[in-house]
A and B are shown apart, each in its own frame.
Chain A
Amino acid sequence: MTKTIQQQPSIATSKVSLKKCLVFDSGPIITLTMNGVLWILEEIKKQYGGEFIIPQSVKEELIDKSLSSKKFQFEAYRLQEQIEKGVIKVVKDPKTIAKAKTVLDMCNSLLERNHQAIRIVSLAEVEAVVMAKEYAADAVVIDERTMRKLIEKPSEVQKRIERKTHMPIHMNNNIREQLETEFAGIQVLRSIECILVAYKMKLLDRYLSNKDQSKQGKRKNLLSAILWAIKLRGASITADDINYLVKTQA
């Protein structure tokens, strides 16, 4: 499906056709930036042969708010560079925003405690997923556990909150069915898959010396190191997952 939308890079506005795209949420971009591997997006995008897009709300969260603070200002500049180069395109689509607000209301009415709805997700997260659906994206790239589980298995969100708060949480089944329809067909990837793709493409071999690049053991160590780095900076992956991935994919 081709959709023509108003694209809004940081400098100019132009129209672009999206035959093939991946929609990114803020989480994977934060993960890649904080681990110094944001640069892989430019390379894997060439391999992908489509566009990497983010909704305007994600851009606002990642860049606009961060530019005004000292702590993550440099990260915001690095990300802005990727947008200026066209590696990541920012999309502002009023129809998507309107739809996202409806879906957001649904998500935030799904779970209740004592007839009080629990707001579990924010607009930026939902907008990325809705955009993926509206634009028939190949997948939405999202690290954030709660939103991912809402797409794949909403009951796990309920169970988690119940377990952690030790309080009974009620799920509204009508809304669950509506959300299932909304999220049907959406595929989910995470930043880990982007890193694995980069690894398979031997992009990460730059971190090894020339003589080590041919040694499988060294490459395995490198993959393990990167996966542990992103895990320890908040990515949702367990030690067992890392061991499994290094064993089977390295």
Chain B
Amino acid sequence: MPFLQKRQAHKSFSTASSTRVYDELPKELVKDLRSMLQEAKNALDNNAADDLKAISNHCIHAATTFQDCDSSKLSVLVYVLSKMLQAQKIKPHLQFAGQTKVSQLFAKARFALQKNKIKDFRSALQKAEDVIQLQEANYAHYVDELLRRGKIKKACKIYDHGISLNRTAEMLDVSPWEVRSFSKNAYADLDGQKQNRQEKKDHIHSISQRFELAKKLFHIQ
């Protein structure tokens, strides 16, 4: 079963789909996707799980700004691959039989992008997803859960990048409950930024102001 977002048109609303399905990819997106596919292929060939994870996070930058289905899909796929390779290291009996195949499909996808053949590119990515899904039995039925968690994790990352919670849930076709339950405390207003004295003062002031408003509305001393 395909795990990624289907196009969900909002009825009578101008910006129709939850993610963009470009008929012609913007140049910058093509450049990003090609670079990420190459890096992912290299990481896969070298069994570099950590590199795959980093590439998946990098895909999020493109997914945040372009909000296209292709970056989102690639991000989740690469994340799942990183997890599968990690699992293999810990449990050698797990066999990712399709590793070479996925690597070849990434190369194919990259080549299709170079030739501006969007349909072939998407077909290659879909086949990569299918190969991963086929590992379900080898990975003790872990893959489906990985794919589901992958979507939620990536939604949390996109939320961290500044897109709203419900919007990211829409993009990755997950529930806002799930994004909220997985998003960590790092997604606070300040996000670990260093503040100068004035910024700290302003921040404290806004917290106080908000509670003063609440006290006034609820008639509390």
Contact = CB atoms under 8 A, between A and B. Distances in A.
Contacts of B169: 122
A30 B175 CA distance: 11
Contacts of B178: 71-72
A200 B65 contact: no
A87 to B, nearest CB: 15
Interface string A129-169: 00000000011000011110100100001001100111101
Contact of B65 (A160, A161, A190): A161
B164 A31 contact: no
B3 to A, nearest CB: 15
B220 A238 contact: no
Contacts of B129: none
A44 interface: yes
Interface in B51-84: 61, 64-67
B185 A231 contact: yes
Contacts of A166: 61
Interface in A158-205: 160-161, 164-167, 169, 187-190, 193-194, 196-197, 200-201
B215 A108 contact: no
Nearest to B67: A119
A197 B214 contact: yes
Interface residues of B, number: 52
Nearest to A61: B176
Interface string B177-221: 111111111011111000000000001101110110111011111
Is the contact region of chain A dominated by helix, strand, or loop, or is it mixed?
Answer: helix
A121 interface: yes
Nearest to B177: A72
B175 A66 contact: yes
Nearest to A25: B166
Contacts of B181: 34, 233-234
Given A69-B175, A101-B13, A105-B15, A193 B211 contact: yes
B15 A244 contact: no
B180 A236 contact: no
Contacts of A200: 215, 220-221
Given A48-B217, A101-B13, 20 more contacts: A27-B165, A48-B218, A62-B177, A75-B177, A104-B13, A104-B15, A119-B67, A120-B167, A125-B165, A139-B217, A145-B187, A146-B162, A164-B161, A167-B65, A231-B188, A236-B187, A236-B188, A239-B185, A245-B211, A248-B208
